[in-house]
A and B are shown apart, each in its own frame.
Chain A
């Protein structure tokens, strides 16, 4: 199995070379994306088959001398390999059609397979060197993809912020591995598993891994690159970055904290829980205010990463208290949600790409009425919106419900810190889920329903068949994983066994395919039954309304009271829909202010309405940081203009100081 995965990495590299060579040729698109589609499918199959197998290893005589490259395929990496294969196959299928009108394909084609190769290698790495190499390969190649459309304003800055955050993430992961390896320098993961660092070092490694993986995944306050980089990248790349790369970061966190460190103390779990809860709520609040479709999706990714980390925090809490059943439930919920997020967020980014291609804009206030013009895309996006809003029987509901089930196991925990923080997290998560539903009602309602607000939206056309196939496929997968959550839960059993020593009860044996998190007496969920009920009750309601409510279609002049002007400008807008929520939460979260400038009676100038928002995290953390760097470099600039003798003097004094330190230290 691992040989197959390894050869897939090799094939990705070959495709990268082919992409560089083919460049502008139209065959390049078919070869590179078609190849990535096939390899993605192979990786998916490999993950699926290897997940229940014992871990496999392979060592390559490459890389650092005498260390080599150690690779390992175990249950955890198999699951993420499956997720990666699925996400990359879908994105590649979408890209075959989507990139047909790409003006500069040579900027994307070489880096796209390289990005996939980097992510695959992260999953297989079994020593810190190869892990970090792959991690950086993933960051750098995705940076090149963010830079692909570098002439558009703002993209270069987005790529710069992304690169800075990637450097930060790489650095913290490097330090985490450095501390894990200890003074003897055991950089193989086996040596790290065997080492048992002291309590202080464990805390340090945990904090570094949370910061390193969190900045790649998009945890608040390290999420700033997501809303910048996702809109800048081409849509199929955004889908990969959001749907797959953030999951690779989650994998990094799980690998270091759950596997190499073997768990964390209970107070660490409260930190993960707090960060996860805040991330979820901040992400969705930002998403609600956003009018750029891809930025909205990026903020929603932040929210979903928060949900995943809440699940991981719960798993850590249960694991620290020797409650494996609870830990297995929480971990399964987190991983399941990661998979679901890959499915529906990729789907929604495909939809956003199709809309962008059809209308040329990402601004939902300039869309509208796409349901008639792009029926297939709209239907697929609607399914994605259902799933991401966690409506049963879609997959988003199944995983969020499992997370809530894990939250309800809280009374089993002894620590008051956890007893108090978990319900607070539950409340945050419930609020985030409700707001996410509102957010996607707004996105779909404003973007796809109603009448077109601009000529561009009015002239929209359906996406090409490759893109539609990718969207339809993912919409079907969202429904299927939602209807049969037991299949995924059982698939995750070996992963949970390996990491927390237990698994959830076996699900697919039940005749009615009921999902049982802990015991049937506590709670259960049957998606299939619910689906039948939703279909049945919805159908009956529709039939009744049609029969009694509006028998026969009437066409008559519109009653113009309140709607005298047929201009599409009079429609409900996204801003007006987000306004009540901005009133309630925005004042606290963003310092949002509405300023209405009403001219005096008799004055003929127009009234204006301005909304101001403050991003506390950007203004409070990143702006001062940037200013500090500028300040320091301005002052260090003096060093550029010293005499040769002084430079020599610096070297000399430093040497003397070091020697003196050595003499005193002995």
Chain B
């Protein structure tokens, strides 16, 4: 009975994460998008903490704290500051209609369930559906990156993709702590690099629309 409930809660949290990804796909305002990112990371932290609880793996709590501290607070706050300081246009230009993108997202969830459930048929049921949901978070993160023209929203897509990877990793038992910490740090480094990059782009092109860089390279829109 207890196992059933813990199982259900793990799934519910993973499902929330997918829902948060859909929210991200839907948002067309930058501040709201950053709020959704914070929510996304918060759900991830909850989910990882729950995994730590049911797997009796105390080191996963550290992962949860990292997720909460860095991804749910530090990075959204820093991104917000960047948006404010750069005075970025707050509306996000999406490629393709929002509705079409949402439909594609649903198809991606179906695809990842279709792929992952047979592959992981013999593993632990908690890990099994977690991995399927994590894959859909990753795919929706990629879709977010592909369908947005704005650099900040591409970063947000990348962060959510990374959250999906963490979710998959914690679902599978026995991932060493070192790997998690190094992943967390690599994300932070990526964030810093991209943040500096954003300022430089802004200085040069007066815009963070990635199309401006492409024009500069002589490419096509």
Chain A residues proximal to chain B, CB less than 8 Å: 641-645, 648-649, 651-652, 655-656, 659-660, 662-663, 666
Contacts and interface: CB of A to CB of B under 8 A. Distances in A.
B114 A663 contact: yes
Given A663-B111, A663-B114, A663-B115, A643 B219 contact: yes
Contact of A644 (B112, B142, B214): B214
A642 B139 CA distance: 22
Contact of B219 (A641, A649, A651, A663): A641
B149 interface: yes
A652 B219 contact: no
Given A645-B145, A648-B154, A649-B146, 5 more contacts: A641-B217, A643-B211, A645-B95, A648-B146, A656-B108
Interface string B197-221: 0000000000000110110011111
B118 interface: yes
B205 to A, nearest CB: 14
Interface in B103-144: 108, 111-112, 114-115, 118-119, 139, 142-143
Most chain B CB neighbours (cut-off 10 Å) among A641, A643, A666:
A643
Interface in B32-83: none
Contact of B111 (A644, A648, A649, A659): A659
B136 to A, nearest CB: 11
Contacts of B146: 645, 648-649, 652
A641 B210 contact: no
Chain A interface mostly helix, strand, loop or mixed?
helix
A334 B211 CA distance: 66
Contacts of A652: 139, 142-143, 145-146
A660 B143 contact: no
Nearest to B113: A663
B219 A659 contact: no
Contacts of B114: 663
A639 to B, nearest CB: 10
Given A644-B210, A645-B95, A666 B119 contact: yes
B158 to A, nearest CB: 10
B55 to A, nearest CB: 27
Most chain A CB neighbours (cut-off 10 Å) among B115, B118, B154, B221:
B115
Contacts of B214: 642-644
Interface string B144-177: 0110110000100000000000000000000000
B127 to A, nearest CB: 18
Contacts of B108: 656
Nearest to A647: B146
Contacts of A642: 214, 219-220
A560 B142 CA distance: 92
A641 B111 contact: no
Contacts of B149: 645
A666 B120 CA distance: 12
Contacts of B143: 652
Contacts of B148: 645
Contacts of A655: 139, 142
11 contacts: A641-B217, A643-B210, A643-B214, A643-B220, A644-B213, A645-B95, A645-B148, A656-B108, A659-B115, A660-B111, A662-B119
